[in-house]
Amino acid sequence: MSRTRLSDDQVDRGLEALPGWERDGGVITSTYAMPTFPLGIALVDRVADLAEAADHHPDIDIRWRRVTFRLTTHDAGGLTARDLELAAGIHAAALALGWGPTG
């Protein structure tokens, strides 16, 4: 995975394929509202495995059944393909648990 910063157009095109993900300055973010607290924790657990495998770790905020993920590539000073790839993995993990982003 490249650590080269993406252009604004590249980020925008990448986000088109990621329902519920949006740009907030130099990060991309999405919140998933899970039906139960244990399913929220299960999502975080799956994302932890993805993040470790990619050596790329999101900021995660857990608020009861709502789990918010924020991604940026700190050592690149902005968004890279790594962020979009991990966002896609997070999205797939949430869908596999039967839920989607809140938008």
d(CA 94, CA 47): 9
What is the pLDDT at residue 100?
Answer: 61
Say what the pTM is.
0.92
- What is the distance in angstroms between the CA of the first residue and the CA of the last residue of the chain? 26
Sites in the chain below the pLDDT cut of 70: 1-2, 100-103
- Give yes or no for a contact between 71 and 29, defined as CB atoms under 8 angstroms apart: yes
Tokens 């910063």 belong to 5
- Give yes or no for a contact between 43 and 101, defined as CB atoms under 8 angstroms apart: no
What is the pLDDT at residue 98?
Answer: 85
Domain ranges, ordered by start, for the chain? 8-96
d(CA 34, CA 27): 22
Superfamily holding 8-96 = Transcriptional coactivator/pterin dehydratase (3.30.1360.20)
| DSSP H helical ranges for 1-103 | 8-16, 37-54, 81-96
